[in-house]
Amino acid sequence: MITQSELKELFHYCELTGDFIRLKTNNNRLKVGQVAGYPKKGIGGKLYISIRINRKDYFAHRLAWLYVHGEFPAEEIDHLDGCGINNKLSNIRAVSLADNHKNRRKQANNSSGLCGVWWDKRRSKWMSAIHHIYLGSFDNIFAAACARKSAERFHGYHKNHGSERPL
């Protein structure tokens, strides 16, 4: 694993742009002053910036955390805007896996347009749930959505959770 001091010898991290700029090179293709990294798909097909250091690939958002805070995050890095290639310091935060899931984009198979809200044909009611917790059945989508949003606030979901965002 790379250390903060080794990382700072090789790159400058710009907190405002999220870019890593090369300070050294050991390769004719990679130039000093060049923005480092390339897009790579992570789990679920989401794009992230990957940087190869000593024959090992690292995601740039994890390196940004190491660069600024002196250690890798204990669990995960959440991109607040949902864009995995936006590694500005203001856009990333260290979180648990559970908290990272509280800032997910709307799923492609969502038919109601609202996370945790669906139409139950058998009951002819709108249903709502969160965290596998049933919130109730409702006569209209507005009431089901209100129950879900209230539960999201109670459980500490991020304001961007369920929004339409790119992979």
Residue 14 domain flag: yes
- So what's the pLDDT on residue 167? 53
Q: What digits encode the pLDDT tens for the residues 64-91?
A: 999 999 999 999 999 988 899 999 999 9
Residue 140 domain flag: yes
Task: For the chain, give the percent of residues with pLDDT over 70.
Answer: 95
What domain count does the chain have?
2
Tell me the residue range of the domain where 71 lies: 4-100
Tell me if 26 sits within 8 A of 11, measured CB to CB: no
10 and 77 part of one domain: yes
14 and 92 part of one domain: yes
- So what's the pLDDT on residue 21? 97
- So what's the pLDDT on residue 166? 59
Strand-pair partners of 92: 79
Those residues whose C-beta lies under 8 Å from the C-beta of residue 20, and which sit 6 or more positions away, are: 11, 12, 13, 14, 35, 36, 37, 51, 60, 63, 64
Nearest to 2 by CA among 75, 63, 93: 63
96 and 119 part of one domain: no
Indicate which CATH number applies to the domain containing 96: 3.90.75.20
What region does 71 belong to: left with phi over 0, alpha with psi -120 to 50, or beta?
beta
- So what's the pLDDT on residue 165? 62
Strands of the chain (E only): list them.
11-13, 20-22, 38-41, 47-53, 56-59, 76-79, 92-95, 117-120, 125-130, 133-138
The overall longest dimension of the chain from CA atoms, in Å, is: 66
12 and 67 part of one domain: yes
The answer, as to whether pTM is greater than 0.85, is: no
117 and 74 part of one domain: no
92 and 126 part of one domain: no
91 and 124 part of one domain: no
Q: Give every residue of the chain whose pLDDT is below 50, as ranges.
A: none
Q: What digits encode the pLDDT tens for the residues 94-106?
A: 999 888 877 777 6
63 and 14 part of one domain: yes
125 and 56 part of one domain: no
Tell me if 13 sits within 8 A of 27, measured CB to CB: no
Cβ neighbourhood burial of 61 (10 Å; 0-12, 13-18, 19+)? buried
User: Which residue in the block uniquely carries the two structure tokens 């009611």?
Assistant: 125
Tell me if 62 sits within 8 A of 53, measured CB to CB: no
- So what's the pLDDT on residue 29? 79
In terms of DSSP H, where are the helices of the chain? Answer: 4-10, 60-69, 97-100, 141-154
